[in-house]
Structure formats: structure tokens, C-alpha cells
Amino acid sequence: MDVDLNDLFMKEVGILASTSHPNLIKYYYAAKSNANEYRESSSMKNSREEVYLVMELMQRSLINILEAKRSMPYYFLIDVIYQIARRMCYLHDMQIVHRDLKPDNALLNIIDDGKCNNGFQFAIVKLIDFGCSKINVGRNPKINKNRYIYGTPIYMAPEIIKSGKESIKTCAFEADVYSFAMTCSKILSGNDPFDASIFLKELLKRIENSERPKLPSNCDDLSKLIKECWTLNPSKRPSFVDICKRLIILKKKYLVEINVAKIPYFGTSLAKTTFERMRHMYDVSCFVESIQKKDDGFSIICKVLDQLNFHSKPKSLEEAQAMMKDLLMSKKFMLVLDDVKDKSHINDVVKNYPTKIHKFDVKELDKDASLKLFTAYSCRDGDELPKELIEVGKEIVRTCNGLPLSLKVVGSFLGGQKRLRCWERALQKLRRGRPLDGDEEDSEYKLWIVLKISFDVMKVEEKNIFLDICCFFCNNVNWGGTMKETMIQIYTNKKSGDEEQDASIVLDMLVDKSMIKIEKDGVIKVHDHLQDMGRKIVEKQEYKDT
């Protein structure tokens, strides 16, 4: 191996092994081997050494995406640019200059690529290739003679081109800033900053004559920042600390709104799962659950501010909107509003804030996923259905129409039943169930059929307490919900004898059957669809006087 190339390789290994950042490629190990070690015809004279650098696997390179001319949202591009700047800020803080910053050296993992409507995407960006990098730069590096000019000419700063093979004494950090600007122009326009075949002298002349790549006209704030980064005078270029601060402000000007729609119960589950998986990416996160019909923009904002422990309370919608806007502009903020009935409420919360809207239509669960969910609730002692229950279990799953809540409720009901006859009886009830007139293709109607049958098989005391919770003790009647201990006390006082233990057992049975849930703080919660079912049942003649 060439001595200089060996030095470059060892330098890259050293940098990767000594640095750690979310936007730096993960290094695992490096190795050297004789290229002809396993070839019988080889001779020691002609043998050559090969080197291996093992790093994490990424999906694709940024340059390939750009050259494919694929349409990408503006907020996505800003986020990619921000992640590159954040990584460069870290390197400069570690006294390392990259010296070959360009889209070719950026790898991406794209999350939800093509899965969401309208192509909503989020990417994790990681930069590579530190063979040309310079370490321990400081502010007064020594002048060194090199055999090569480090970097790619069309992304190279003019002061680097002018210095030739002599490492420039000053402006090492600023040269990376210039390369960053050229990288941004490629990301935004999809075109190379300059013709790659141009000679260095001609390229330098054009740069010194103020020739720069053309930027798109729809990004004035970002264009202004890029132009400051590629200015001819290195001392006037901003640092990556300043660049990151300005990019954060730009990112917050574009609010991404995702509407999750269609399937009862599944929307909340999906929103909660997504929230928990992504909240670590944000400075502030807030999940507002079960927004009621009586709620408006003002009350929703108050709930958000209350969750975030704001001491001052707004007195009007305008004051609340101003506080919300300040919060959105000052922090990287993830806000989830669950079960919004009126679209205007969202507009009130983010009034006068630029919004990108993406709608995600959730489909019913497929056959395999439905069976897995049903089995999880019906077979608590194992992960598979008993052999004698497999066929009837599959038929029950098919009858539930892929609705998660129905699979959960029916599965919980059958969890304590091991006899085939009980399962077959439940299947027949599901097939014959027609409690209300309705559209059989409507998810709400399908869900009603299943939930009503689950209610019918409950004991009288379970039915009464469940209906009381739906009508009097749910969170949209009592602000904040009702505590389990409060419910037990109510039923203890209501009965002639000591019924405290019985009430507690009934509540536990309702939890086991997935008709209610009890939060960690002891508050009783009931799902909206179960609550609606309970109230509709009470409206029927046999329950009017209860």
C-alpha cells in the first residue's frame, strides 16, 4: 500500500474511533490483509496489502437521491442540511476539519419512505470519509507540504484552491463552511455547483469574479444564509454554531401536520406508539388525549400549557395563541392532539403558523396481525391458540373485521374460556349480532356489533357498574376522571352491607375484559366507543329507570 494512502486510512480510523455523534457514521473495526493470501498463483513479490473499514450499514447515499431528481419536501431538505451542519459543528468543536464535505459523503436512512400519503419523510443523516480530514487544527495550524490537494474542486473553498499543495495556515474551519454552502446548493437545486471538468485556474477565476451556483427562489431565508457561507472573504463566513442556530429557526417555520384517520381505537394506539418512539427527537413533547366535542382551541391550548407546567394562564384565545406561537418558535416541539372532532380546533392552536398537511389513512389489520392481537388477549398463558381452538379462533378473528378494539374485547372475554363449545357459541353470536340498523361496511357499525355482544355476556353487577361509569364517572363528565377508590367508596355506601371487596372485584373484572382501564394514578378510563355503546344501551327501554 502507498505510504500516504496508509496514513490517510489510519487517520480515518483514528477519527472514527475517537468521535461519537448521532450524525457521524458508527465505526466497528478496521483490518488489513494480504490481497493474495488465498491465491495459489500469487508470489510474495507481487502481493499487495488491502485494508478494510467496517462501519454501520446505511440505506442510501444523498448524492444518489439528488441525482435521481426525486421530489422532496422543503422541510425535509432543511432538516437534512441542519443535520449536516450539526455534525460539522461537533467536528469543529473537536478541532477537526473535514476538508472534503460534499453530498457524496453523506449517507441516509429514510424513515417511512413511501409509506405515508403524500410522501412524508424523515431522514437520519450520517457523514463519512475522514481520510482527508485535518486534526488538532486550532486557530494557528502549521504549514505543511502535501503530495495532493485535499478535497473535491467544485466544492473547495477558493483559498484552498489558491494554496495548492501547501496546507493553508489559517481559515481551515472557514473552508468547511464554504464547502457546506456548495453542498446546500446541490441539495436544493439538484445541480453541481460548477462544471466538474473545469480546470482549477478557471474555477478560481470564476469564484473570485463572484460567480456562484443559482439557488431556488422559494427559500429566501436559507438563500441568505448560504450566500453568507460562500462569501469570498473567509473571515466573514459564519461559524457552524451560528449556522445551526439559524437553521433551527428556519425548521420551526414549517409545521408538519399528520392526520391519522379512519379506524376506531387504532388511531389512538398508533398515535401513542409513534409519540413514544419519536419524542426523544424533540426538545418538548405533549400528548393531549381524548379531546371532547365541547373543547375549543382555547381549552386545547390550555391543556397543552398545563401539561408543560406553565405557571401563567392565558385569559383569551388570542393570548393563548400568542403563548403557543412563542413555544413553537422557541423549541423543537412535538404536539399530538388525539381524537379531534373539529378541524378548526387545530387551526386555532397553530394560527398564523405555516403548515404542511399529510393525511394517513389507517387500514384494518390484516389476517395475520389480527390473529396475533386476538391470541395475545385470549391466550394469556402462551403465545399460540390450543390446537382444538385454532379453526374457531380464526373464524372469530375474521368476523371481527380487523378492528383492533373488537379483537381486544372479544379476546379478553374468551381468555378465561377453554372449552370449544364456549368459543363456538361466541362465534355464532358474532355472526348473528345485529343490535342496530346500520351500514355493514361502516367500521363504527361493525364495532358496535362486537362490543354489544361482549356486553351482553357480562354479569348483572358488571353491566350496572360499567353503565354507571359510561354515564356518570367518565372523564368527559368529571374533569380529570374518577378514581378507582372513589368508585369503590360510592358502591360501599350504596349497598346495605360491606360491598367494598365486591366493587373492587367487579372493577378488576371489567379491566380484564378490556371494558375499562385504570391508569397508573388510579383514574378510571373508558374508550369513547365503549362509552358511546354504554349510553346507547341506557337509552333503551329496559335501562331507562335504572
CATH number of the domain to which 128 belongs: 1.10.510.10
pLDDT of residue 262: 47
Inter-helix orientation angle 240-251/220-229, to 10°: 170
CATH number of the domain to which 504 belongs: 1.10.10
Considering the domain architecture, whether residues 318 and 242 belong to the same structural domain is answered as no
Rounded Cα gap, residues 248 and 229, in angstroms? 16
**489 lies in which domain range?**
458-545
- Identify the domain boundary among 260, 290, 310: 260
pLDDT of residue 228: 95
Region at 356 (left for phi over 0; alpha for psi -120 to 50; beta for the rest): beta
Rounded Cα gap, residues 126 and 128, in angstroms? 7
Give 155: exposed, middle or buried? Use CB within 10 Å, 0-12, 13-18, 19+.
Answer: buried
136 neighbors 107 (Cβ within 8 angstroms): no
How many CA atoms within 13 Å lie on the side-chain side of 380?
12
Which value, to the nearest 10 degrees, does the dihedral of the CA atoms of residues 85, 86, 91, 95 take?
90
pLDDT of residue 490: 83
Considering the domain architecture, whether residues 109 and 185 belong to the same structural domain is answered as yes
Does some domain include residue 168?
yes
pLDDT of residue 44: 47
Using DSSP's 3-state secondary structure scheme, residue 36 falls into coil
List of long-range contacts for 419-424, beta carbons under 8 Å, 24+ apart: 420/388, 420/389, 420/392, 423/389, 423/392, 423/393, 423/396, 424/392
Q: What is the separation, in whole angstroms, between the first and last Cα of the chain?
A: 90
Rounded Cα gap, residues 52 and 33, in angstroms? 8
408 neighbors 514 (Cβ within 8 angstroms): yes
pLDDT of residue 261: 54
Does some domain include residue 169?
yes
Rounded Cα gap, residues 541 and 263, in angstroms? 30
pLDDT of residue 117: 39
Considering the domain architecture, whether residues 107 and 231 belong to the same structural domain is answered as yes
C-alpha cell at 140: 494557528
Does some domain include residue 282?
yes
pLDDT of residue 177: 95
pLDDT of residue 320: 85
- Write the CA distances from 109 to 17, 56, 77, 127, 331, integer angstroms: 22, 11, 14, 12, 24
pLDDT of residue 239: 94
Does some domain include residue 236?
yes
Considering the domain architecture, whether residues 245 and 321 belong to the same structural domain is answered as no
Does some domain include residue 433?
no
Between CA 54 and CA 60, with CA 59 as vertex, the angle to 5 degrees is 100
Considering the domain architecture, whether residues 116 and 183 belong to the same structural domain is answered as yes
SS (H, E, C) 448-496: HHHHHHHHHCCCHHHHHHHHHHHHHHCCCCCCCCEEHHHHHHHHHHHCC
63 neighbors 82 (Cβ within 8 angstroms): no
pLDDT of residue 143: 45
Considering the domain architecture, whether residues 213 and 289 belong to the same structural domain is answered as no
Does some domain include residue 24?
no
Considering the domain architecture, whether residues 492 and 346 belong to the same structural domain is answered as no
pLDDT of residue 234: 92
Total domain count, the chain: 3
Q: For 9-140, where are the E strands, in sequence order? A: 27-34, 49-55, 60-61, 96-97, 106-111, 122-127, 134-135
Considering the domain architecture, whether residues 181 and 239 belong to the same structural domain is answered as yes
Rounded Cα gap, residues 510 and 525, in angstroms? 11
Considering the domain architecture, whether residues 195 and 333 belong to the same structural domain is answered as no
Cβ within 8 Å of residue 173, ≥6 positions away: 92, 97, 137, 239
Which value, to the nearest 10 degrees, does the dihedral of the CA atoms of residues 163, 168, 170, 174 take?
70
Considering the domain architecture, whether residues 218 and 338 belong to the same structural domain is answered as no
Considering the domain architecture, whether residues 245 and 274 belong to the same structural domain is answered as no
Does some domain include residue 504?
yes
265 neighbors 404 (Cβ within 8 angstroms): yes
- Comparing C-alpha atoms, which of 467, 477, 446, 483 is closest to residue 290? 477
The length of the chain, given as a count of residues: 546
Give the pTM. Answer: 0.50
Rounded Cα gap, residues 173 and 141, in angstroms? 11
Per residue in 70-113, pLDDT tens? 777 777 888 899 999 998 999 888 888 888 899 999 999 876 54
pLDDT of residue 148: 56
340 neighbors 346 (Cβ within 8 angstroms): yes
Considering the domain architecture, whether residues 312 and 196 belong to the same structural domain is answered as no
- The percent of the chain in helix, strand and coil, each rounded to the nearest 5, is 50, 10, 40
pLDDT of residue 82: 92
Rounded Cα gap, residues 287 and 272, in angstroms? 8
- Identify the domain boundary among 331, 350, 369: 350
pLDDT of residue 79: 87
pLDDT of residue 328: 67
- Identify the domain boundary among 241, 260, 279: 260
Between CA 302 and CA 309, with CA 304 as vertex, the angle to 5 degrees is 90
| Under-50 pLDDT residues of the chain | 1, 3, 38-45, 113-120, 140-144, 168-170, 262, 434-443, 498
Does some domain include residue 378?
no
